[in-house]
């Protein structure tokens, strides 16, 4: 799967927009590495529909307190109901259709803040490779998290003394609680904190280098560990090898390009580092059960409904 010497430059048509905040191309005005707003504040400006988009370097937490929503993740859709929390890592294509009575909060956190204040919990959250939908428990713990989101929103809007300290402390508690809820079983079993950080670092490396067609040894070298150690860590955490995780990310990007751009199959294959479009087609079909053309046709039909 080596790169061709001079692959053609793929041309995209109407690519999925990358925003800091939906609909805005500038950074938010406050110096915080966190932005907090109600669902209604932004959604009402867009007829309660947030079209598919991406964020770079931002981790988003969408909490639906009341009402309903339909969440789009890449080429799939999911229902959100009251009490659901959606966790969206960077560069995941996502969108929402909220019911007009929807209530809740949207937290947007810069990755450095999640790393700094979240510690091991932040590393576990940043290791997420796809958006995750979690339902708050109906018991006392869930009620406590309802109140916690309100406290974050209240502190974010305040100008009280020590605001930054209180706000980041509230966020640290939220990140720890969320990491506890969504951590894969293997992550719980990791012996050392270093293992969590290595796996998180590997996931972030994949995001920046998946199209480079690098061997597992290259990723391991970037992390300062052996390929065998990296494979063992990945299998313990996800049940998949390191190479399988890289291939999973390649397929995800291929799916995104096939659904949201007008790139030809050949252009998609070259953009992902494949020298031979025919090999890319076989690679894609082995992992999805469909050829790229068939997958695109099915996704287009689904989007049209």
Instruction: Provide the pLDDT for residue 18.
Output: 62
Instruction: Provide the pLDDT for residue 19.
Output: 59
Report yes or no: 22 and 108 within 8 Å, Cβ to Cβ: no
Report yes or no: 114 and 169 within 8 Å, Cβ to Cβ: no
- Give the domain ranges of the chain: 34-183, 189-304
End-to-end CA distance of the chain: 37
> Within 13 Å of residue 301, how many CA atoms lie on the same side as its CB?
6
Smallest CA-to-CA distance from 223 within 193, 190, 200 is with: 200
User: Which CATH number is 189-304's, of 1.10.10.60, 1.10.357.10, 3.30.565.10, 3.40.50.970?
Assistant: 1.10.10.60
Question: How many CB atoms are located within 10 Å of the residue 104 CB?
Answer: 25
Residues lower than pLDDT 50 in the chain: 1-14, 28-29, 186-192
Instruction: Provide the pLDDT for residue 193.
Output: 67
Mean pLDDT across the chain: 84
Smallest CA-to-CA distance from 183 within 167, 199, 205, 194 is with: 199
Instruction: Provide the pLDDT for residue 31.
Output: 56
Smallest CA-to-CA distance from 122 within 247, 31, 252, 33 is with: 33
To the nearest 5 percent, what fractions of the chain are helix, strand and coil? 50, 20, 30
Segment 73-99, tens digit of pLDDT: 887 888 999 999 999 988 888 899 999
- As its CATH architecture, domain 34-183 has Sandwich (2.60)
pTM of the complete model:
0.70
């Amino acid at each position: 799967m080596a790169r061709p010497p001079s692959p053609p430059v793929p041309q995209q048509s109407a690519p999925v927009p990358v925003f800091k905040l939906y609909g805005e191309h500038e950074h938010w005005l406050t110096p915080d590495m966190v932005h907090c707003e109600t669902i209604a504040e932004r959604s009402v400006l867009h007829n309660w529909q947030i079209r598919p988009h991406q964020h770079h370097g931002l981790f988003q937490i969408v909490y639906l307190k009341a009402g309903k929503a339909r969440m789009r993740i890449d080429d799939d859709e999911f229902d959100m109901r009251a009490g659901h929390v959606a966790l969206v890592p960077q560069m995941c294509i996502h969108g929402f259709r909220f019911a007009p009575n929807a209530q809740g909060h949207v937290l947007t956190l810069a990755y450095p803040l999640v790393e700094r204040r979240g510690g091991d919990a932040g590393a576990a959250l940043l290791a997420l490779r796809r958006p995750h939908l979690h339902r708050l428990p109906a018991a006392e713990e869930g009620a406590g998290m309802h109140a916690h989101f309100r406290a974050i929103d209240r502190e974010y809007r305040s100008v009280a003394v020590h605001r930054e300290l209180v706000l980041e402390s509230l966020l640290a508690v939220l990140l720890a609680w969320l990491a506890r809820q969504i951590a894969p079983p293997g992550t719980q079993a990791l012996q050392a904190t270093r293992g969590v950080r290595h796996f998180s670092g590997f996931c972030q490396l994949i995001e920046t280098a998946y199209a480079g067609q690098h061997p597992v040894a290259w990723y391991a070298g970037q992390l300062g560990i052996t390929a065998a150690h990296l494979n063992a860590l990945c299998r313990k955490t996800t049940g998949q090898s390191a190479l399988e995780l890289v291939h999973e990310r390649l397929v995800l990007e291929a799916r995104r390009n096939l659904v949201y751009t007008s790139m030809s199959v050949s252009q998609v294959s070259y953009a992902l580092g494949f020298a031979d479009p025919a090999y890319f087609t076989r690679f894609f079909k082995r992992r999805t059960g469909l050829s790229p053309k068939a997958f695109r046709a099915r996704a287009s039909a689904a989007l049209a409904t």
